[in-house]
Amino acid sequence: MTEQTWHRVASLSDLPEGAMAAVDAGGSPIALYRVDGQVHATANVCTHGRARLTDGYLEGHLVECPLHQGQFDVRTGAPQGLPVTRPLKVHEVRVEGDDVFVLA
Amino acid sequence: DGARHWPPGEVSRIPYWLYSDPEVYRRELERIFYGPHWCYVALDAEIPNPGDFKRSVVGERQVIATRLEDGAVAVVENRCAHRGVRFCQREHGTATEFVCPYHQWVYAPTGELMGVPFRRGVKGQGGMPADFDPKANGLRRLEVARRNGLVFASFDPAVPSFEDYLGPLMLQYYDRTYDGRPLKLLGYSRQRIPANWKLMMENIKDPYHAGLLHVFFVTFGLFRADQKSAVEMDPAGRHGVLVSRKGDKVLNDVTQDMRQFQENLQLQDPRILDVVHEWPGEATVVMQTLFPSVILQQQVNSMSTRHIRPRGPGCFDFVWTHFGYADDDEEMTRRRLRQANLFGPAGYVSADDGEVIEMSQQGISSDPEARAVVEMGGRGTGNADHMVTETAIRAMYRYYREVMGL
């Protein structure tokens, strides 16, 4: 496995409260979420079907896949019930001023 | 309709339009195969582990039987709730969910709808109405009955219990072979028979033909017209058994029998007749017809289910599942496999049945106003203690007339 590095992926001002953004961190598709002022990052591809979670819905801490309504907790990546059973990979986030960094 | 005349109560004359009329067939599917009857779908041994599934058929509808985590079996229709697609294209497999290829609707093995792609639209556009209820849009789930290794299903929630459906006498015969010992799958034979499905049921309710059509039986001593036998039914007349008993002396001396019947014919490999007596009582053959979909075969040491899958009034698929008991030793398994050569589409015995009912259908369908004569053993529908009778066919038609309103 290649060593993880920090990537600048977005500006905080482009990610309002309750929004999602699809970004790229060194080739990995990442979903950014802003909930209760905090920024979270997970893999952007659902662990069940082949869909991008940022094409789905963010409700509180839960993101719902647009394909089959599988839900994950964006803080932990934990699946919330069928049809999803495998967790999302969660990425560490660092915010410096307006710059959002993701470890990937 | 004068052309569709059948005197009330008559069961010893069977009109031939019953075997070719599309309207009669449509009603059979609705009232018999999709009505309050148990149809065979699988052996427990075919789907031993959670997620294992088998595709099967009830009437003309494909179904999927899946083993659940708790050991129960769910049977659902293989028809997407969205646009009707027969989504499952595999005969057997293991799956945690079923996905329709057309629009990727996802179902649990219980039929519950788990996901609808773009249910909430794409970027706020389209999607299902807000009141769309996944719980009300799952796959059709059938009633399921399991007893000692076999799985049955019914589309009708009002179906009686399996035990009541068979009745005490038929249940006693059922439990003789299916006594709770786990079964072991040995293999399948499949054939498509261009004949009406009822002719197959009639064939196994007809002991009269056994010693006449099946020259192999007679030639090699597996059947004699004078051996002790019985034809018995449930009170409704829809199910039946043909029981054949044979003294131990005859059983143990196969070669003597062979001389007795036809001196000049010898089997190249006589091990096919290496029969051991393995069930309590005297019976060596118990053939049970469970109306409308299956024949349970125990003939010498060969066991199989023969599943009737109708395909229109003039055709059905006939699927044989051969099996033994899980605790059979290698020798017994080999014996059952050898004896299975008597049965199936090319069996030394059963090839005759497939061919002769095809010939029946040919004669029958060219003259729908003519009638079959079913008077061997009288015109009644009671049990008999001999083979020279067609009583079980008459009994089936007594029930058939009732359920069909004909």
User: Over the stretch B162-217, which tens digit does the pLDDT of each residue have?
Assistant: 999 999 999 999 999 999 999 999 999 999 999 999 999 999 999 999 889 998 88
Q: How confident is the model over B311-336, as a mean pLDDT?
A: 98
**pLDDT (tens digit, 9 = 90+) per residue, B93-112?**
999 999 999 999 999 999 99
Neighbouring residues of B200: CB distance < 8 A, sequence distance ≥ 6: B193, B295, B306, B308, B316, B318, B353, B357
* CB atoms inside a 10 Å sphere around CB B82: 15
Neighbouring residues of B102: CB distance < 8 A, sequence distance ≥ 6: B80, B82, B83, B85, B87
Q: Is the ipTM reported for this complex over the cut 0.85?
A: no
pLDDT confidence tier of residue B220, bands split at 50, 70 and 90: confident
The pLDDT of residue B270 is above 80: yes
Alpha-carbon distance of B21 to B23, in angstroms, equals: 5
Neighbouring residues of B227: CB distance < 8 A, sequence distance ≥ 6: B244, B245, B246, B250, B387
Neighboring chain B residues of A82 at a CB cutoff of 8 Å = 97, 108, 114
**pLDDT (tens digit, 9 = 90+) per residue, B396-406?**
999 999 999 99
Least confident piece of the model among B53-62, B95-104, B122-131, B192-201: B122-131
Q: To the nearest 10°, the Cα dihedral for B115, B118, B123, B124?
A: -90
pLDDT computed for residue A50 by the predictor: 83
Q: How confident is the model over A25-43, as a mean pLDDT?
A: 96
Least confident piece of the model among A89-103, B127-141, B237-251, B326-340: B237-251
pLDDT computed for residue B261 by the predictor: 53
pLDDT confidence tier of residue B255, bands split at 50, 70 and 90: very low
Alpha-carbon distance of B404 to B100, in angstroms, equals: 36
pLDDT computed for residue B245 by the predictor: 81
* Partners of B305 in the β-ladder: B296, B321
Q: Specify the higher pLDDT residue, B253 or B129.
A: B129
- Is A82 in Cβ contact with B114 (below 8 Å)? yes
Q: To the nearest 10°, the Cα dihedral for B347, B61, B157, B106?
A: 120
**pLDDT (tens digit, 9 = 90+) per residue, A40-83?**
999 999 999 889 999 999 999 999 999 999 999 999 999 998 89
Which amino acid is residue B244, in one-letter code? S
Alpha-carbon distance of B119 to A51, in angstroms, equals: 13
Scan for tokens 């099996």, then name that residue.
Answer: B323
The pLDDT of residue B254 is above 80: no
Alpha-carbon distance of B171 to B239, in angstroms, equals: 10
- Is B116 in Cβ contact with A69 (below 8 Å)? yes
Is B119 at the interface with chain A, CB within 8 A?
yes
Q: How far is the alpha carbon of B92 from chain A, nearest alpha carbon, in Å?
A: 22
pLDDT computed for residue B62 by the predictor: 98
Neighboring chain B residues of A66 at a CB cutoff of 8 Å = 117-118, 120, 122
**In 3D, which of B27, B34, B94, B93 has the Cα closest to residue B60?**
B34
CB B369 within 8 A of CB B16: yes
Is A69 at the interface with chain B, CB within 8 A?
yes
Coil vs helix vs strand at B280: coil
The pLDDT of residue B79 is above 60: yes
- Is B118 in Cβ contact with A66 (below 8 Å)? yes
Give me the total of CB pairs closer than 8 Å, taking one residue from chain A and one from chain B: 38
pLDDT computed for residue B249 by the predictor: 43
In residues, how long is chain A? Answer: 104
Task: Residue window 83-102, chain A: list those with CB within 8 Å of chain B.
Answer: 83, 85
Cis amide prior to B22 (ω within 30 degrees): no
Alpha-carbon distance of B188 to B306, in angstroms, equals: 10
- A97 DSSP assignment: T
Q: Search chain A and give the residue with CA nearest B106.
A: A68
Give the rounded distance of the alpha carbon of B179 from its chain centre. Answer: 19
CA angle (B95, B96, B102) in 5-degree steps: 75
Q: Search chain A and give the residue with CA nearest B103.
A: A67
Is A70 at the interface with chain B, CB within 8 A?
yes
Is B97 at the interface with chain A, CB within 8 A?
yes
Which token pair is B390? 């067609």
Neighboring chain B residues of A85 at a CB cutoff of 8 Å = 96
pLDDT computed for residue B133 by the predictor: 96
pLDDT confidence tier of residue B252, bands split at 50, 70 and 90: very low
pLDDT confidence tier of residue B3, bands split at 50, 70 and 90: low
Q: How confident is the model over B17-45, as a mean pLDDT?
A: 98
Detail the DSSP E strand segments found in B213-290: 229-233, 240-245, 283-290
Q: How far is the alpha carbon of A103 from chain B, nearest alpha carbon, in Å?
A: 28
- Is B117 in Cβ contact with A66 (below 8 Å)? yes
Indicate the average pLDDT of chain B: 93
Neighboring chain B residues of A51 at a CB cutoff of 8 Å = 117
Task: State the DSSP H helix or E strand holding residue A93, giving kind and residue range, or none if neither.
Answer: strand A93-96
Sign of CA dihedral A42, A44, A49, A55: positive
The pLDDT of residue B247 is above 70: no
Q: How confident is the model over B345-361, as a mean pLDDT?
A: 96
Neighboring chain A residues of B122 at a CB cutoff of 8 Å = 55, 66
Give backbone dihedrals phi and psi of B332, rounded to 5 degrees, phi first.
Answer: -65, -40
Name the percent of chain B lying above pLDDT 70: 94
The pLDDT of residue B246 is above 70: no
pLDDT computed for residue B250 by the predictor: 46
pLDDT computed for residue B330 by the predictor: 97
Of B106, B114, B122, the CB nearest to A66: B122
